[in-house]
């Protein structure tokens, strides 16, 4: 079978307040998101009032930003429902993430494993609520991983369970954390109380060197522990086919060995994400690595890596640029 190459353009976009740049991103992605949102039929998605009330109950501080984005999206009912990210269609990712915390360094590194054609590829620098946030965008304003100007950094991974229920998509929960939290304890409190619609593993680290991984799901209370590593299962394997295909146990063991080894340096940890088993080439099944992100809470730096190319960004250095990445069964290339 011939190699099916896929191309994704990554963009860095800086916009202090919601405005024309975000509106342009919405217009560009809307058709694809509309198809995804209606993929199970419109009746399966909650009504606008249910979406609004859920945000008002669980994340009220986000409402002003939500209203501004809804206005930029044209004020339509369907767009407003999607942007709430309340009870969206289910979706499944791979992902590996780990925190290395030493007396002199703290770093959160992660690989995002997903179909490249379904990734927005937008790295947003915003100041929507008086706090700078640099984040890889998802669902137009949600967060796959990111950092704020207090040094709080977050990353998500699919939790490896089929359960779907009442709650929000994790990207909007991560946006909420970066907009309104300064520390790991504050983020942990949010993860303990805001409901999620699927199982996710959320890893959080801050400038003081604290970290936790929260295993959240719609059918059980969040398990929040001082664990520095997360892949795609929670306390036990429940979805064996996904666990086997994603090699979640192998990746977790690799990361655990690294962070438990006192001789592991930041460079050694980060370099491990560039090679198997952490770096995956399974793009045909949607489990290939789309990018590697490295966040340094103490310095406020964010780096995004592809073979032979990287973007190094911060709150004082954030040039707007773009990078084309090509994915195929033989690997990926950037240029």
What are the tens digits of pLDDT across the range 141-161?
999 999 999 999 999 999 999
C-alpha–C-alpha distance, residues 226 and 25, integer Å: 37
Query: Which tokens sit at 5?
Result: 């190459």
Residue that the structure tokens 């088993």 belong to = 277
pTM to 2 decimal places: 0.97
C-alpha–C-alpha distance, residues 143 and 155, integer Å: 8
**With 60 as the cut, is the pLDDT of residue 245 above it?**
yes
- What was the pLDDT predicted at 329? 65
C-alpha–C-alpha distance, residues 26 and 84, integer Å: 14
What is the mean predicted confidence (pLDDT) over 311-333?
90
Query: How many residues would you count in the chain?
Result: 335
CB 187 within 8 A of CB 213: no
- What was the pLDDT predicted at 331? 66
R_g (Cα) of the chain, nearest Å: 18
CB 155 within 8 A of CB 112: no
C-alpha–C-alpha distance, residues 191 and 170, integer Å: 10
How does residue 106 score in pLDDT terms, banded at 50, 70 and 90? Answer: very high
- What was the pLDDT predicted at 1? 39
Q: How many CB atoms lie within 10 A of CB 40?
A: 12
Q: Mean pLDDT over all residues of the chain?
A: 96
CB 95 within 8 A of CB 113: yes
């Amino acid at each position: 079978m011939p190699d099916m190459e896929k191309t994704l353009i990554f963009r860095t976009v800086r916009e202090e307040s919601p405005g024309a740049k975000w509106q342009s991103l919405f217009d560009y992605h809307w058709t694809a998101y509309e198809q995804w949102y209606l993929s199970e039929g419109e009746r399966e998605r909650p009504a606008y009032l249910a979406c609004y009330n859920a945000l008002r109950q669980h994340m009220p501080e986000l409402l002003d930003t939500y209203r501004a984005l809804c206005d930029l999206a044209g004020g339509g009912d369907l767009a407003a429902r999607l942007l709430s990210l309340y009870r969206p269609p289910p979706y499944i990712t791979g992902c590996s993430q780990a925190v290395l915390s030493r007396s002199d360094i703290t770093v959160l590194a992660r690989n995002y494993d997903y179909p490249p054609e379904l990734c927005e590829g937008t790295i947003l620098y915003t100041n929507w609520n008086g706090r700078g946030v640099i984040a890889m965008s998802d669902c137009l304003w949600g967060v796959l991983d990111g950092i704020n100007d207090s040094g709080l950094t977050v990353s998500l991974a699919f939790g490896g369970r089929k359960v779907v229920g009442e709650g929000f998509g994790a990207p909007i929960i991560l946006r909420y954390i970066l907009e309104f939290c300064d520390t790991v304890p504050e983020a942990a409190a949010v993860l303990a109380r805001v409901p999620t619609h699927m199982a996710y593993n959320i890893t959080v680290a801050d400038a003081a060197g604290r970290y936790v991984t929260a295993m959240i799901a719609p059918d059980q209370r969040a398990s929040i522990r001082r664990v520095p590593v997360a892949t795609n299962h929670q306390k036990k394997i429940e979805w064996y086919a996904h666990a086997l295909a994603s090699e979640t146990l192998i990746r977790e063991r690799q990361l655990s060995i690294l962070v438990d080894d006192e001789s592991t340096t930041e460079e050694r940890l980060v370099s491990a994400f560039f090679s198997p088993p952490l770096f995956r080439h399974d793009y045909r099944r949607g489990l290939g690595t789309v990018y590697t992100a490295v966040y340094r809470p103490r310095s406020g730096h964010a780096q995004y890596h592809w073979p032979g190319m990287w973007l190094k960004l911060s709150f004082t250095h954030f040039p707007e640029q773009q990078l084309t990445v090509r994915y195929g069964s033989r690997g990926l290339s950037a240029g």
